[in-house]
Structure 1
Amino acid sequence: MHETSLLVENLLSVWWIGLAAFLGPVLAIATRRVIPDVVWLLAFGAIIALVRGLPVFLRETWSDTGSGITGWRQRAALGLYASTGLPIIVAVTQIAAQEGLISDTAAAVMVTGGAVTVLVFPLVASRLARTP
């Protein structure tokens, strides 16, 4: 069992390195536009967590989904995992910016917020799920 756990941890490490290599240049470009709007970035991250994660958390709390999750930490971790959503955010913001519905800065804030959810939410979720 310990060997399987070690293998999973190594695979996750490789995944994080690949993700960082992919998102690094994207974040470097977007950061120039986003830094002045850091409050909007944090607000967008919170909105993503509320809109996507809270319903998952509440469903696990109020109904029997058959998942076997009983503790609030595991429910919160599941909600955070469900909150990650970079691909749909990139697609929608690209279309909206091209059509002139939102500014390029707003699109950059939203994409960076989505990237933050991909980087931060799983890390926090894994810590929550491990804590007794």
Structure 2
Amino acid sequence: MQKNRTSAEGDTKISVNNGSRNIDRFSEGQWLTMKSLPDAGLPHGVYHLADAAKAAKNVHPQTFGGQVVHVDQSSVYQLSGKDIVQHERGLFAKEPVVGQCYEVSYRRGIGTVKGELSLAEGAKLDHQRSRSL
């Protein structure tokens, strides 16, 4: 989401607006669009991947249910409420799909992809998670 922040060389953001999803990278003091794709059903907004929380770092049991906003060679970035959570790509047995909701659970820092969810199921799981915090 858009915050007052300083961008570093190589940072990536996903901008979703007007039916498109732009993958932008910060280089030489400016944002450059690397790729423009369909929005994949993602909510409008700007998602800075450098702000993503690393889910595996927390030893307490937790479950995330939300849409995947971006996939790169090593990570999967998932919407979780108004934040982004970063998962290791190796957790996903199948290729994760941008825009698809997944349930990802962690126990003692070890993650498991429990499966694909509908958008309604993902929103319900995210709401339950936010109430338990």
TM-score under structure 2 normalisation?
A: 0.20
Larger relative contact order, structure 1 or 2 (CA cutoff 8 Å, min sep 6): 1
Q: Which one has a bigger Cα radius of gyration?
A: 1
Q: Which has the higher helix share?
A: 1
Q: Which has the higher strand share?
A: 2
